[in-house]
């Protein structure tokens, strides 16, 4: 009972201080005497992970208000290096959702402290774990290792980030109270046993020192599974245990690596879990999360819900995992995560139950739900064969197929084409496919290959004077595990037919789809069985969030008013795409869809008022 009363006192103190910070009152924050100390007094951190890059900027405040209304006092966020270094040495911290300084300031205005997780490696089911794709082109660079090219790049990244947030640390009157050292490094140590522990430690210490040298001057922490502290813990940083539900074990392992004392924190407490295409949508029960939260409250354990609100992998930002059965497990566009706050920012049953547990007298009311609309019919005004768009692109010619990286392309698609003057038939082997390809002979589809199903070959018959086309999609680079160091895309090894390596005069057409394709001067040439671009528009008298219904479609991406809202794939479990109302407008709106498979022609598409995230149809993606 005394413990509960003391915890309530601490939470009230933290809440009062959190509210006071909006008035630019300068606070102190420290880790000392086995406690988190705010203005010299012990506090307990009740945080939620929510990433600025996954949420439209106009909705940042709403989502932060949702967190505050659940009874939380802090928000944690990764920083995504590749989101900000858009080309070598080119930094963007201002456009679209990239203004991290503004995100942090809004958090402060809403009475939340901030926990910053700069990486350089993050995970977050995000493309390449946050690394810029072009690092793979730098001679001598090995990510997550001690080598000059890599450490020079991380130093440049930390320096650029520090320039954005230096005035936002609690030491300068801002809300940032803690910064994480290299992320989940204990996991990587366990995965890369080919590297000595001494060498691993040398690397993580070097990155940690860079953060301090650049100027990050608030308390540091690390986060790893409780059994991975040997590889992940750093002298001078508080070790926290991801996913540890045994309070006694948590305290024991933190004590071992932190001088026999706390404070104790679970930096990733999972109220949901990540999702892959072609696999069931994982669910975590409300009852279990409420019960575990109560254990932490009773045990004086601070925590950070990962995720409190997941949001969306817009564009080509989603990453991928892998396992023994699949060479790639691409992550969904939706990052709903079964989190307490849904992808569209709704209060779920889980949210309400946790709010009931965490709320205090001064906890604000739940913000109003953003309006939702339905668009019953969006007719297409144009349907263009993608090959006609491809033919307006100047090809790169080479004796062998080149990777995306060799073509200096990060994301999207590459169309590989070769003209055969002599016939050849037999087995086509595409063992170096990364990640998904449709194969055509003289414009007729003959097969679909992809890395998820480990389908890398098919029978093929190429007649005299025929053209072989291989349309390849990058489905997202690996974001977790040892194979993250091998994340090149496209066709990365020789094309073999009937045992023969096919060389000479390969044409490669770059289709990055980094901007909406312009088909204004292209005729309606689309036919079933070939990739197509559909274009249409719709008129709204009011705006609101909605969900594009893609159940009748195959595989592709969608642009709304020029914004790539993400990938769809008929395998599910995600069958809708979230369209934020803040990206719609009263009056005319434009839609463009790249449909890769296009097994049937489409005349229209519609939106619905609720998402479909659990409709699994893996048979729709089986290679043919």
Active site amino acids? 184, 268
3-state secondary structure of 177: strand
Q: Dihedral (C-alpha) 250, 255, 256, 257: value to the nearest 10 degrees?
A: 100
Residue carrying structure tokens 């925590």:
303
Task: Mark residue 448 as left, alpha or beta (left: phi above 0; alpha: psi -120 to 50; beta: remaining).
Answer: beta
> What is the rounded CA–CA span in Å between residue 315 and residue 514?
8
Contacts for 623 with CB less than 8 Å, ≥ 6 apart: 447, 448, 449, 450, 453, 455, 458
> What is the rounded CA–CA span in Å between residue 79 and residue 293?
26
> What is the rounded CA–CA span in Å between residue 302 and residue 293?
10
In 3D, which of 566, 555, 552 has the Cα closest to residue 608? 552
Radius of gyration of the chain (CA): 25
| Distances in whole angstroms, Cα of residue 497 to Cα of each of 341, 395, 418 | 51, 23, 13
In 3D, which of 555, 563, 567, 411 has the Cα closest to residue 477? 411
Quote the tokens at residue 368. Answer: 């109003």
In 3D, which of 512, 557, 555 has the Cα closest to residue 412? 512
The DSSP code for 608 is E
3-state secondary structure of 221: strand
């Amino acid at each position: 009972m005394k413990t509960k009363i003391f915890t309530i006192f601490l939470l009230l103190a933290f809440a009062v201080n959190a509210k006071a910070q909006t008035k630019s009152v300068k606070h102190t924050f420290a880790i000392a005497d086995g406690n988190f100390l705010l203005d010299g007094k012990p506090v307990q951190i009740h945080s939620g992970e929510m990433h600025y890059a996954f949420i439209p900027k106009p909705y940042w405040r709403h989502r932060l208000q949702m967190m505050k209304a659940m009874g939380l006092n802090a928000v944690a966020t990764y920083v995504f290096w590749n989101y900000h270094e858009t080309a070598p040495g080119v930094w963007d911290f201002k456009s679209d959702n990239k203004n991290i300084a503004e995100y942090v300031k809004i958090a402060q205005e809403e009475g939340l402290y901030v926990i910053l997780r700069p990486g350089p490696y993050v995970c977050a089911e995000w493309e390449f774990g946050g690394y810029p794709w072009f690092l793979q082109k730098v001679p001598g660079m090995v990510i997550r290792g001690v080598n000059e090219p890599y450490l020079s790049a991380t130093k440049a990244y930390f320096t650029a980030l520090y320039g954005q947030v230096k005035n936002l640390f609690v030491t300068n009157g801002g809300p940032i109270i803690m910064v994480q050292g290299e992320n989940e490094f204990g996991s990587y140590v366990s995965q890369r046993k080919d590297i000595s522990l001494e060498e691993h430690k040398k690397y993580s210490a070097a990155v940690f020192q860079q953060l301090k040298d650049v100027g990050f001057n608030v308390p540091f922490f690390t986060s790893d599974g409780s059994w991975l502290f040997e590889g992940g813990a750093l002298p001078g940083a508080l070790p926290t245990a991801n996913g540890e539900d045994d309070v006694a074990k948590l305290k024991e392992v933190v004590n071992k690596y932190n001088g026999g004392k706390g404070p104790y924190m679970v930096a990733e407490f999972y109220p949901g879990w990540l999702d892959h295409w072609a696999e069931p949508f994982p669910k975590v029960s409300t009852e279990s999360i409420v019960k575990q939260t109560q254990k932490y409250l009773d045990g004086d354990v601070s925590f950070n819900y990962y995720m409190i609100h997941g949001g969306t992998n817009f564009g080509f930002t989603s990453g991928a995992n892998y396992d023994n059965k699949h060479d790639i497990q691409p992550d969904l566009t939706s990052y709903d995560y079964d989190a307490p706050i849904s992808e569209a920012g709704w209060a779920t049953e889980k949210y309400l139950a946790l709010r009931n547990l965490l709320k205090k007298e001064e906890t604000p009311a739940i913000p109003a739900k953003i309006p939702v609309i339905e668009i019953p019919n969006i007719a297409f005004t144009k349907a263009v064969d993608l090959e006609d768009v491809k033919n307006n692109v100047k090809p790169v010619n080479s004796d062998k197929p080149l990777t995306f990286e060799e073509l200096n392309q990060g994301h999207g698609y590459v169309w590989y084409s070769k003209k055969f003057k002599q016939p050849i038939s037999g087995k086509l082997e595409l063992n170096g496919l990364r990640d998904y390809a449709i194969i055509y002979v003289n414009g007729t589809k003959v097969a679909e290959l992809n890395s998820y199903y480990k389908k890398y070959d098919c029978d093929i018959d190429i007649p005299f004077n025929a053209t072989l086309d291989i349309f390849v999609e990058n489905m997202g680079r690996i974001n977790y595990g040892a194979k993250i160091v091998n994340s090149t895309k496209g066709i990365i090894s020789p094309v073999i037919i009937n045992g023969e390596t096919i060389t000479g005069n390969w044409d490669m057409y770059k289709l990055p789809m980094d901007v909406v394709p312009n088909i204004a001067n292209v005729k309606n040439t689309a036919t079933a069985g070939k990739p197509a671009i559909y274009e249409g528009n719709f008129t709204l008298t009011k705006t609101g969030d909605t969900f594009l219904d893609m159940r009748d479609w195959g595989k592709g991406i969608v642009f709304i008013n020029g914004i790539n809202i993400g990938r769809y794939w008929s395998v599910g479990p995600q069958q809708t795409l979230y369209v934020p109302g803040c990206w719609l407008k009263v009056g005319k709106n434009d839609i463009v869809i790249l449909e890769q498979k296009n097994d049937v022609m489409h005349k229209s598409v519609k939106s619905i008022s609720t998402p479909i995230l659990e409709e699994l149809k893996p048979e729709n993606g089986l290679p043919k």
